[in-house]
Amino acid sequence: MHVVVIGAYGSAGVAAANDLAEYDDVSLTLIDDGDPGGGLCILRGCMPSKEVLSAGAHRFQARHDHRVSGVPEVDLEKVVETKNEHTSNFASQRRASVHELAERENVEFIHDTARFVGDHTVAVGDREIDADYVVIATGSTVNVPSISGMDEVDYATSADVLDRTQFPDSCVVMGFGYVGIEMVPYLSEACGMDITVIEHDDRPLDEADPAFGDELLRIYREEFGIEVLTNTYEQSVESTDDGVRLGVDGEDGEKTIDADELFLFTGRRPTLDGLGLEHTALDIEPDAGVGTIEDETIRPSPEWVDETMQTRDDPRIFAVGDVNGKEPILHVAKEQGAIAAENIIADDRGADLTPYENTHHHVMFAGLGIYPFVRVGHTVESAAAAGLDVVTATREASDDGVFKTKDVPDGLARLVVDADDGTVLGYQGLHYHADVMAKTMQVVVENEMDVRNVPDRAYHPTTPEIIDGVVRETAAQLE
């Protein structure tokens, strides 16, 4: 059996390749044109972004602590230099692992661009490779929204933020999801910019219960001095002599916003451009307003790939990671890659395939990572939508003295528990150290623990006391 993996440097592609290479009867061709290569997360995503956020976090905490004299300045030259050194090392390790894999007798690596020229035939340079199965793991690229004037203005993306050492005085931001929520405080705290953010809804954090979006909004406005315009939509954009002008329609009607620069944090779309999908059986309908297959700006619906990671139009083509449009998160990409490898082997042998199922497990480094947001499992709203009867408890960080002693008093936590049998269904946290508590709560949720069996004591004084509080309260409601 011959399998081709397109996008072998990325997290999903590497995961699939590592598992497939273990089978002696699998001939594996790995293809990636990355330069230098290493995957989005390492080079332009979660790892470099945490590098720069941490610098802003140190300044924020010093600025807010009345016990500390003076406010340090962030040296952006050193921030970028350190980030580049670290990510370069991380990326070289990823490349080395792929190249080491290619030293096996049944594995070949090609550093070039691939495109389909037939259902399962892939052209690379002057070669055509006929495969039994193809894994598409080409990741994602910046999604540029379609509004009037967008093609005629300059804009910066999160990748630009990670590399720049100089910034103008002001900016207007389109996009307040994962990327925007993480990048905006950095622009304010470390780069000293006056910022106006456009938010389409009442509040950010769509995946959270409303209280968490409201608290995040308050923190950004009051602690970071960021202007967030809610229930506002972009209408047009144009260049001016001094920068950019964005026309919006919001709660106060139509108006324009002038700024030195426009930043696009409008999410990402699957990288399928130029992949030659028109030569395959894949019939992908792009989302309205984004583009068509003809102009090669494809943003397919997540339904084009089913839960086995097979494309629905061709069960011998699999799509994993960001490219399938389902859930662009690193750990999900790895798990999808592993499932794809397992299912390719199963399909070839006529066995049943395994659907990919994961407990919702997200960490967002909001507030420069000082006030990260975590969601594991169900929210109150998602539990209700699933028809579950629940009891809940919500605790403010300020209810526990340890957060005050560490001078991080903002935020809250919420536990969702099945009212019938006490099973812990979900946890949300927007508070200091919520990110490091995510693993603990993942274990509790995924092992379906009864809240009455979760220890309700932490070493004192430590921040997990916030978990103890919601555990005790929900357990008491069950009794």
CATH number of the domain within which 279 lies: 3.50.50.60
Residue 42, pLDDT score: 85
Residues of the chain with pLDDT under 70: 285-301
Residue 297, pLDDT score: 45
From 297, 332, 348, the end of a domain falls on 348
Instruction: Report strand pairing: 261-264 vs 170-174.
Output: parallel
Shared-domain flag, residues 117 and 10: yes
pTM, rounded to two decimals: 0.91
From 266, 287, 312, the end of a domain falls on 266
Query: Is position 167 within any domain?
Result: yes
DSSP letter at 175?
-
Q: Is the CB of residue 431 less than 8 Å from the CB of residue 371?
A: yes
Residue 290, pLDDT score: 37
SS3 476: helix
Bridge partners (DSSP) of residue 47 are none
Shared-domain flag, residues 228 and 303: no
Shared-domain flag, residues 135 and 159: no
Query: How many Å apart are CA 224 and CA 409, to the nearest integer?
Result: 15
Shared-domain flag, residues 12 and 87: yes
Query: How many Å apart are CA 331 and CA 328, to the nearest integer?
Result: 9
Residue 285, pLDDT score: 61
Query: Is position 358 within any domain?
Result: no
> What is the residue range of 384's domain?
372-478
Query: How many Å apart are CA 167 and CA 259, to the nearest integer?
Result: 12
Shared-domain flag, residues 168 and 254: yes
Structure tokens at 434: 């919520």
Comparing CA positions, the residue from 447, 446, 451 lying closest to residue 414 is 451
Structural domains counted in the chain = 3
Residue 17, pLDDT score: 97
Query: Is position 105 within any domain?
Result: yes
Shared-domain flag, residues 251 and 227: yes
Residue 46, pLDDT score: 84
Shared-domain flag, residues 342 and 413: no
Shared-domain flag, residues 6 and 136: yes
**Residue whose tokens read 């009442």:** 202
